[in-house]
Structure 1
Amino acid sequence: MIRPYLRRAKALKNILLDHNYDSRRYFIHSQSGRSLLNPQQLQGRLLQKAHSIEKGLSMPEPRDFFGLKALRELEGLIRQYEQRGLDENHISIRKARGVIGAYFERHEGLEIPEEIARFRPLAKGLTTVPGIGTVELTRAGQAAAAAGDLESVMRSRRSTRIFAPGDVSSEDIQAAVSLAGTTPSVCNRQSARVYSVRDPELKEKMLALQGGSRGFGHHIDTLLVVTSDMSNFRDGRERNQGFVDGGMFAMSLLLALHHRGLGTCPLNWSADRTKNEKLISLLSLPKTDLIIMMIGVGQLPEEFHVAASPRREISDLLIELPA
């Protein structure tokens, strides 16, 4: 009888060792607790902070002179980038400067407060940079692209923060989830699950925990939660498999919803253990569920704008080995 307990004890030991290995690597190589960043970390932080301004520009009703804190942080990062003499053609610094230019273009004709005006030189005279800031789209154009070939579907999918009034049908959600169900998974275990919420009060509580939908979350018609059932996985070697399978499923679901002509906004679930347990409790999720992300879904308006969000160059994405 003691042998099963020994197997469990050995499994726990290996899981703890593997998670310690993950935690150590993450702490060493991520931006955690760092004020002085290496070039790659600095470029990543620039993209993150520039997107916070870009996201504000894509809101339904952006406040005048929003994002003072983000602008201050972006200023510090740009100064650090300049002092190190890093590549001014890299997408991170081009996006940072271009977004600041787009910010001032958005406020053209308004009396700009001095505390905001001081950031204008950071744009280096750039007011309109192709692929940076926001992009104007139409519902008809998105529908046509979403009905096209695979490249058209993938390149036209955009995160939407402007939704039109109108219900998202259960049939559309079911059809999209069914299509996403064709996503490959380890040993075809199909661990992904989707929870669909339309109740306004419950959505509000969920979005408050998520924390990234201020200014547009109240326009979301249906809020989806993608999870992965951990009971499908065997040991410490599969500790991250739920995120892999769940993430692949979530991307398929975003494309499937886009194909149905719906607007979507992926909402990350980068939560600490306290918030994670709160969401599990709020939705009465099974304890075996690993929360991957939320997805806001709604109808598209006739005309709307989205964050441009330029992508990295292929040279950043593809590394051929041996070099």
Structure 2
Amino acid sequence: MSTATRQRKRRPRGKNQRRETLAAFAFLSPWIIGFLVLTAGPMIISLVLSFTNYDGLQETRGVGWDNYEKLLSDPKVRKSLSNTLIYAVMIVPSTMIVSLALASMLSRIGRRSAGVFRTLFYLPEVTPKVAIGVLFLLLFNGQVGMVNWALGLVGIDGPQWSTDEAWVKPGLVLMNLWSVGGTVVIYLAALNNVPRDLYEAADLDGVSRWQRFRHVTVPMISGALFFTLIIQTISALQTFDEAYAAFYGSAASASYSSEAALFYLIYLFQQAFQFLHMGYASAMAWLLFVIIMIITAIQVKVSKRFVYYEGGDR
């Protein structure tokens, strides 16, 4: 076949590839535009503002690294960051354990019943976070809350969930365990994809249920566990809505003075929109971004030893 003939055959394929590429970019363009306008653009602007004294009212001028130096000496930054990290350490494993337990129970019942319960478990996910914060005040009120009333029925004197600093974060953890439906659905899908022949082989070897769970189930769903670990950690470090609605955003919490619920994003919000320290708030946002990146990088690094990927090394 001559060179000219081969070139003529290649031309239509090249045109089709260009058309497919343009069509792909056309379909991706809403996301690309949205990412540039709503995510990348504001991130760049906030990075620039973090080196200024911008407050929206006075003339903006550059302050160099002053905002970042102030972060290191601000006691409320340390307090809010400490509250956030402690809360993350409490809520992430709690969510994963409860979700895995519920998913394991759902995987053992019939498909029709599992569909009903899966829907019921997922419904709290669509509940507004602000509503959950208000519900916290109703259920965990130390005097008239339903939680303490239920504990009183079994002879337990319930704590002051909303005012005792030692119980504020545990109370929020218990409240947020109500909305674990999304994680339950992920774990249920992972459990249903575990090959049945592995369980049959384990039964033939006479292993116990715990050994089968530890050596078969957990390795086979480790990818889903790792995914939810990262997502739940990022979500916990960005906690805002429930705590703000319960402790800072309602008339019932107007007299609340404890800093046990002062999470990092709440303090960032206060600096930006109450005190109008936009430049300082931007520096706080970038500090949180760096912290999340570091924690995620550590999780990815450690996961290489524990996460099993089908067709690859564990």
Shorter-chain TM-score tier: under 0.3
User: Which gives a bigger RCO, structure 1 or 2 (Cα 8 Å, sep 6+)?
Assistant: 2
Question: Radius of gyration: which is bigger?
Answer: 2
The two structures have a TM-score, normalised by structure 1, of: 0.24
The two structures have a TM-score, normalised by structure 2, of: 0.25
Which structure carries more helix by proportion? Answer: 2
Greater share of strand residues, 1 or 2? 1
